[in-house]
């Protein structure tokens, strides 16, 4: 079957997800008393969490703006691009309407965050470790949301996993590039890895036919768990080294940098 475009242009992101949840979780009228979460409530909860995730990312963007001594416009720009950048790139690649164009509540939340952060950034900075945990929460949430959006339009498993990772990391990568700080790609943290492992969990369980809520929750918990353990124990991925060759290269690079006008 081909790629149907028109169907999606008719409805913004959140409603799409809502409907899918309602469709895939049968209401089972006889056992309704055993459902501990109402699907409509769940979808509203997911929407609130999604905005919260954008705010958490916006805070990390504003902190980079603060460290570089930017003015309030720089705070706003970095907060918005970090908060909604990953989801924007995901939507462009999947060819669905960008999630904040019809209803810019995420952008408004990021802008408000930027203005507040312009005044309180140094105080937030001093609680950086607490912030890392909120960021892990945001990462887990957008990973699952990004993967779900790709699965909803029938993308293959690999693309769905990639979209989870893109939603979680592209905002931060643009933030680090614009703020001239070493990007998450250069720091040896378990960050994108946590996102990928969580997205794999979700896609795997989804492929096994589990209910949407179950596989989403599992993906969320695995992402948050892996990232959390990495924060707690300072985990990082091993880097394969062949030291002599690497040394030689580093010198070559240093020399060429010196010659660079």
Stretch 156-175 residues interacting with its own copies (CB under 8 A): 156, 158-159, 162, 169, 173
Binding mask 30-59 for its own copies (x = CB under 8 A): ------------------------------
Nearest to 86 by CA among 73, 99, 95, 102: 99
Q: Quick one: which segment of 34-42, 52-60, 87-95, 206-214 binds its own copies (CB under 8 A)? A: 87-95
Residues 90/167, Cβ–Cβ less than 8 Å: yes
- Give the shortest CB-55-to-its own copies separation in angstroms: 16
Integer-rounded Cα radius of gyration of the chain: 20
Paired tokens of 214: 């179950």
Answer whether 173's CB lies under 8 Å from 184's CB: yes
Indicate whether 234 belongs to the interface with its own copies (CB under 8 A). no
- Shortest reach from residue 9's CB to its own copies, in Å: 4
Site for its own copies in 96-135 (CB under 8 A): 97-98, 100-104, 107-108, 118-119, 121-123, 125-126
Q: Does 188 bind its own copies (CB under 8 A)?
A: yes
Residue range at the interface with its own copies (CB under 8 A); choices 44-52, 132-140, 207-215, 236-244: 236-244
In angstroms, how far is CA 48 from the centroid of its own chain?
Answer: 15
Region of residue 215 (phi > 0: left; psi between -120 and 50: alpha; otherwise: beta): alpha
The rounded distance, in Å, linking the Cα atoms of 66 and 61 is 9
Under the binding rule (CB under 8 A), the answer on residue 5 touching its own copies is yes
């Amino acid at each position: 079957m081909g790629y149907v475009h028109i169907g999606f242009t008719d409805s913004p992101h959140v409603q799409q997800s809502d409907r899918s949840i309602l469709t895939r979780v049968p209401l089972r009228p006889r056992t309704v008393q055993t459902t501990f979460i109402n699907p409509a409530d769940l979808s509203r909860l997911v929407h609130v969490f999604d905005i919260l995730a954008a705010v958490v990312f916006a805070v990390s963007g504003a902190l980079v703006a603060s460290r570089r001594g930017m003015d309030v416009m720089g705070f706003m720009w970095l907060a918005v691009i970090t908060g909604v950048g990953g989801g924007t790139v995901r939507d462009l690649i999947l060819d669905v309407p960008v999630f904040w164009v019809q209803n810019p509540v995420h952008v408004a939340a990021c802008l408000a965050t930027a203005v507040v952060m312009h005044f309180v950034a140094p105080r937030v900075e001093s609680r950086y470790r607490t912030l890392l945990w909120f960021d892990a929460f945001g990462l887990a949430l957008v990973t699952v949301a990004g993967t779900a959006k790709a699965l909803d339009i029938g993308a293959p498993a690999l693309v769905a996993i990639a979209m989870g990772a893109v939603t979680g990391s592209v905002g931060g990568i643009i933030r680090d590039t614009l703020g001239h700080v070493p990007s998450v790609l250069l720091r040896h943290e378990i960050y994108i890895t946590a996102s990928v492992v969580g997205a794999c969990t979700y896609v795997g369980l989804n492929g096994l036919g589990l209910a949407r809520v179950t596989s989403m929750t599992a993906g969320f918990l695995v992402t948050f768990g892996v990232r959390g353990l990495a924060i707690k124990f300072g985990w990082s991925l091993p880097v394969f080294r062949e030291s002599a060759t690497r040394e030689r290269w580093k010198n070559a690079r240093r020399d060429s940098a010196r010659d660079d006008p």
